[in-house]
A and B are shown apart, each in its own frame.
Chain A
Amino acid sequence: MAARRLLSWYLTVFTLLCLFCYRITVATDEIEVCTSRFWFNYRHVANTLSVYRSVKRLGIPDSHIVLMLADDMACNHRNPKPATVFSHKNMELNVYGDDVEVDYRGYEVTVENFLRVLTGRLPPSTPRSKRLLSDDRSNILIYMTAWWNFYNVILRLLFGQRKLKQLIGENLSSKPIASWNITISVEKRYNELLFIIDTCQGASMYERFYSPNVMALASSQIGEDSLSHQPDLAIGVHLMDRYTFYLLEFLEDIHPASQANMNDLFKVCPKSLCVSTPGHRIDLFQRNPRSVLITDFFGSVRKVEITTETVKLIPNITEKNEKLTEEVMLTEPQKYVQQMPVAEIIHQSIQMCWTQHSNANGHYQKWSQPFKIKYD
């Protein structure tokens, strides 16, 4: 009896507290696409995976992420370190990790599948992990990287461009295309959409957008090429593209409670570092970018439903249940471990490069046990 009263008191207090800690309920969904195959396009997969890792670190769960990778770099025969994909040279940061979930892989990454994910027109047998479970209050982040020919086709289909017959060689009339244009906004599948693309001539991708509440970022202007960042001499390929490399560094400084806004994101990778000129488009967006937090798109806040009602427990609780609840209460509280101390590694590595350049073996040894999960 005493415990029952205690419990109901707890619940009442909790709901009252919630009235004072009211937060905007925002869920973020995320789609990351990499469409390049073959070993020499290692960097595109590394780009996508590094954004994936940042976003997971900031709180978006796998159920809200659709990751599309067109080729398997980690298990490619040519990879001298199997089951890893590195984004920093000297193999400092393995962005593949242990818990990556790739939803669309290999030949499943097609224009059609991408559009179906976005519009939600998937066959009923599609599992939940392959669907974009967004509603009219979700913010969607779309990140795309690879060679621009693929995107030329998709984005014209999606956000504009009536003359598509010659592009994809199919017979499409303008009506279904136009209907796709407004499908996403009419069906209210998103609240706000942030679109980032890292490819050559990226600005051509967002030129034709006209759906409302879309903000777009691209790594280069029309006529410019997006360049790759650094090669790794042991693996023999370029590891990242410049824009995404500096984007990743910027995101490392963001934590779930950060107040950084979109204007800071627009300043990522100026021309002196990126060689190409990154661009952005905000005219379709309703809010002022200064008031939009980075975590609105890159982080996730769990849905909290506030209710002012009190909940009454069922009167017939036996003594056995009382004992069980007592035992459960006695265990220690658990907490999540810090996933990846990425910021630490990046900053330290820059220092390491200058000091420990000669002792290559020592360097490798230091990072051979990188990310032990601490159970404390």
Chain B
Amino acid sequence: MGLLSDPNRRRALTSLVTRLNTPLCVLCYLVGVSWFMGLAFEPFMLRTYMSENAMGSTMVEEKFVFGERAISYTREFAGQKKKTGGMPVDWLVKTMKSRGLEVYTQSFSQTLPFPDEVKERYMVRGTNVYGILRAPRGPRTESIVLSAPCSEGNNNNQAVGLLLAIASYFRSQIYWAKDIIFLVNEHDLIGTEAWLEAYHDVNMTGLRSSPMQGRAGAIQAALSLELSSDVITSMDVALEGLNGQLPNLDLVNLFYAFCQKTGVLCTIQGKLQRNDWDTLPGYTHSLSTMLLMVLKQGSGHPQGDHGLFLRYHIEAVTMRGINSFRQYKFDMTTVGKLIEGMFRKLNNLLERFHQSYFFYLMPSLTRFVSIGYYMPAFGFLALILVLRAGPVGSAERPCQSTGGWGQRRRAGDIQHFPVSETEAVVLTAIAIYVAGLALPHNTHRVLSGAGTERGWRSLKLFSLLYLAVLLGCTTLINFSLGFILAVTMIPVAAFIQPHRSSKVLHGVALILVSPATTLLLSIYLYHELIEYPVSLLECWQHFLTAVSQGILDHHLYGSLLYPLIALFIYPCWLQFWNIVFWK
């Protein structure tokens, strides 16, 4: 008879699990965490490879030589930007038209729920300018996008200059099978979101925009460029998109292949590759690269303009030029050649990227960890919850119980207190959070079965299962977020009990793993990894900014982190808090 259908064996199994419960849980946790740490160890990783046949193994000889032209466009653009005090729409339209593109503009406006203190904007109004290079012999059904943001001050002028130089060079070639859209967007992410929504004729975030007049067919891939200096020492690639979505690995491989070909130094997470994987510093280097990616992906914030394209199944990456203190510099011509090579390869595509991985982690640019390798790490952690829930469930009969409930409030005008709107919103959120801590004092009056042993056990069973399902679903979509929450919450959740003596200890442990503290610690870890350590006060400032950004991201781009934490994770955490203070 089978292991689970035979009652004798099942009893034996259950008794074994009940007896060895604690050691098994500890073992699972250690295995899960060490599995995750082991992912960064080079022999366990796979080398990256191009999966898409259509992009081919041969490369073309790049013939872009107009670096000087790019610099002159940069100077003009900078001058015009200063003159108009914002985006020089007319100059851009005129220049693109003279280069032979079909130029269109799109104006948009958006009102934030409260002022954004990081970027200092509240009511945003802007214009996107985009020029379409029609394929001379193509059927105009597919297109590729090259975008450069128009930022304030002196940022990203070179990106726009290079975009214009590339546009004029591409215009004279006849081998384009897809249309190319050159997009200059204002207010970075908001502008990109406005353009994408109007292009695909959807309205997800309540943006108001003028109707889009020119289209170029389905977008197959997009490249976002950020360059702020005439010469660069390295190119950094940003992958993480909205809600932790990643572009297809083939696009990253393409970027790396062309960096190798043109000889440009390329980095990921700002870190160069190392060859000494068998030494401890080498291992910690790849581990820190991977942890940075995990933290950025877990935040759900798009790390570049490309992040918003991913939602529409358009594979996109952001390439950032970095000018550091190295001696060897690369000029605009080299960057132009890099982009030209990538575009010629993208031109050969017959279908959207689909051959390579969509879920992966990258400890370095040449190594990757696919979903099949990193999922077991989470699997072991989820196993702890199942192990804990098993004995509890088999010994009890389920009874009625309700969980905690959290609420989300929109900020209104608070004029009576001398705080800014942003701070008001953030502090209100935190206040609700803290107020929730007082919930146990009231729940026991409402719940049936209060004050009994069975009451809290059934609540714990329910909470454990709820947490398991929640974290499982989150991990499927955004592994990093799920794993971070799992690593912090699961051990404490598994061992929580309402003992009178150790109530304070359990309470403190639970607070330490609450979503807010996890966020605080993640910010601290992030700053440690980018070698820019912060003090506690700065960390607190960053924390407040992160909360406000989370709310704004949700409102502006549809990010799901804040609703998930507020509506699902936090109530689950409150249930465990109730267990601790069970009377």
Contact = CB atoms under 8 A, between A and B. Distances in A.
A77 B58 contact: no
Contacts of B344: 236
Contacts of B137: 75, 77, 82
Interface in A216-259: 231-238
22 contacts: A39-B54, A39-B348, A40-B53, A40-B54, A40-B348, A76-B177, A77-B135, A77-B137, A77-B138, A77-B175, A77-B177, A78-B175, A80-B174, A82-B174, A231-B57, A231-B58, A234-B61, A236-B56, A236-B58, A236-B60, A236-B344, A237-B58
Interface string A153-193: 00000000000000000000000000000000000000000
Interface in A49-83: 75-80, 82
A218 to B, nearest CB: 23
Contacts of A76: 177
Contacts of A38: 54, 350
Nearest to B137: A77
B59 interface: yes
A233 B54 contact: no
Nearest to A232: B58
A375 to B, nearest CB: 32
B169 to A, nearest CB: 14
Given A77-B177, A236-B56, A238-B57, 17 more contacts: A38-B350, A40-B53, A40-B55, A40-B348, A77-B135, A77-B176, A78-B348, A80-B174, A82-B174, A231-B57, A231-B58, A232-B58, A233-B59, A233-B61, A236-B58, A236-B60, A237-B56
B459 to A, nearest CB: 57
B59 A236 contact: yes
A234 B175 CA distance: 11
Contacts of B55: 40
Contacts of A75: 137
Interface string B57-79: 11111000000000000000000
Interface in B10-64: 53-61
Residue in A233, A236, A238 whose Cβ sees the most chain B Cβ within 10 Å: A236
B173 interface: yes
Nearest to A37: B350
Contacts of A235: 60
B289 interface: no
Contacts of B175: 77-80
Contacts of A80: 173-175
B60 A234 contact: yes
Contacts of A238: 57-58
Contacts of B53: 40
B347 interface: yes
Interface in B172-229: 173-177
Contacts of A40: 53-56, 348
A234 B55 CA distance: 15
Contacts of B350: 38-39
A78 B175 CA distance: 5
Interface residues of A, number: 18
Contacts of A237: 56, 58
Nearest to B136: A77
A41 to B, nearest CB: 9
Contacts of B56: 40, 236-237
A238 B59 CA distance: 10
B220 to A, nearest CB: 14
Nearest to A41: B53
Nearest to A79: B175
A72 to B, nearest CB: 12
Nearest to B60: A236
B176 to A, nearest CB: 7
A76 B135 CA distance: 12
Interface string B114-148: 00000000000000000000010110000000000
A39 B57 CA distance: 13
Nearest to A235: B60
Contacts of A232: 58
A80 B53 CA distance: 20
A231 B61 CA distance: 11
Contacts of B174: 80, 82
B135 A236 contact: no
A316 to B, nearest CB: 62
B60 A233 contact: yes
Residue in A39, A82, A232, A234 whose Cβ sees the most chain B Cβ within 10 Å: A39
B190 to A, nearest CB: 35
A285 B359 CA distance: 57
Interface in A23-63: 38-40
A147 to B, nearest CB: 11
A327 B60 CA distance: 60
Interface string B327-358: 00000000000000000100110100000000
Nearest to B178: A77
Residue in A38, A78, A82, A235 whose Cβ sees the most chain B Cβ within 10 Å: A78
A162 B53 CA distance: 34
A74 to B, nearest CB: 12
A239 to B, nearest CB: 10
Interface string A4-30: 000000000000000000000000000
A40 B55 CA distance: 8
Nearest to B54: A40
A233 B62 CA distance: 9
A76 B174 CA distance: 11
A204 to B, nearest CB: 22
B177 A78 contact: yes
Interface string B526-551: 00000000000000000000000000
A354 B60 CA distance: 22
Contacts of B177: 76-78
A78 B347 contact: yes
A233 B58 contact: yes
B24 to A, nearest CB: 48
A234 B58 CA distance: 10
Residue in B53, B137, B176 whose Cβ sees the most chain A Cβ within 10 Å: B137
B348 A236 contact: yes
Nearest to A75: B137
Closest 7 CB pairs of A and B: A77-B177, A231-B58, A236-B60, A233-B61, A80-B175, A40-B56, A77-B138
A232 B56 CA distance: 12
Residue in B58, B344, B348 whose Cβ sees the most chain A Cβ within 10 Å: B58
Contacts of A234: 60-61
A232 B53 CA distance: 17
B355 to A, nearest CB: 13
A39 B138 CA distance: 14
Interface in B55-112: 55-61
Nearest to B175: A80
A83 to B, nearest CB: 11
